[in-house]
Amino acid sequence: MDQLKYSIETMIKDELQKEDLLVLLEDTATQLLEKLQKFNDVEINIIPFMNSWTAAQVADHLTKSNNSIAKAMLLNGTKINRNPRGRVEELKAVFLNFNTKMKSPDFILPSQDIYERDFVIKNLERSMENVLEVSRETDLSEMINHRAFGDITKFEILYFVHYHTQRHIHQLDKIFEAVKVR
């Protein structure tokens, strides 16, 4: 009986944390899209400094990443015997360290040099909506094996989306500053 009570309490706690996380992701998506809307048709495709992506390329990268994450959320996962949020601090430390330059996996690299502003923003918005939609219907405590992360829970993957997006919001701020002075 105690085990059943513990399981029910854990399920309720996980659902509440899931809802909080989904609200956080919605807020992060809104913040990202607002940043991109500041760029005009020309600015969104300007290379701000050497070895940098344009704002449109950042958006394309995030779209590809989100689409990959949405597919991963649909995978059948396995039950785990650890905290499903155990890697969250690790992900936060890695992706919010703005002093390190990171290399993107090839499968989510931007694929063009020039993008149509409204199209790239709309695709990004759809990819964020897709992540949120599939996440609402999945058990976030399940673990999957992801090609970029290895064994990771779906909770942790969604925190990755948040921190990864925050990292690129920071990058977009820098890009915007650079293209505005030209």
Q: Please choose, from the candidates 92, 99, 105, the residue with its C-alpha nearest in 3D space to the C-alpha of residue 161.
A: 92
Whether 153 and 80 have beta carbons less than 8 Å apart is answered as: yes
Q: pLDDT of 44-60, one tens digit each?
A: 999 999 989 999 999 99
Q: Is the confidence at residue 119, as pLDDT, over 90?
A: yes
Q: DSSP label at 39?
A: S
Mapping DSSP onto H, E and C, the string for 149-177 reads CEEEEHHHHHHHHHHHHHHHHHHHHHHHH
Element (H, E) at 144: strand 143-146
Give the separation between CA 106 and CA 126, rounded to whole angstroms: 22
Question: Tell me, what's the pLDDT at 182?
Answer: 66
Average pLDDT over residues 15-38: 93
Give the separation between CA 145 and CA 166, rounded to whole angstroms: 24
CATH of domain 2-180: 1.20.120.450
- Phi, psi of 15, rounded to the nearest 5 degrees: -65, -40
Q: Is the confidence at residue 131, as pLDDT, over 50?
A: yes
Residue 151: beta bridge partners? 145
**pLDDT category, 15, cuts 50, 70, 90?**
low
Question: Tell me, what's the pLDDT at 17?
Answer: 87
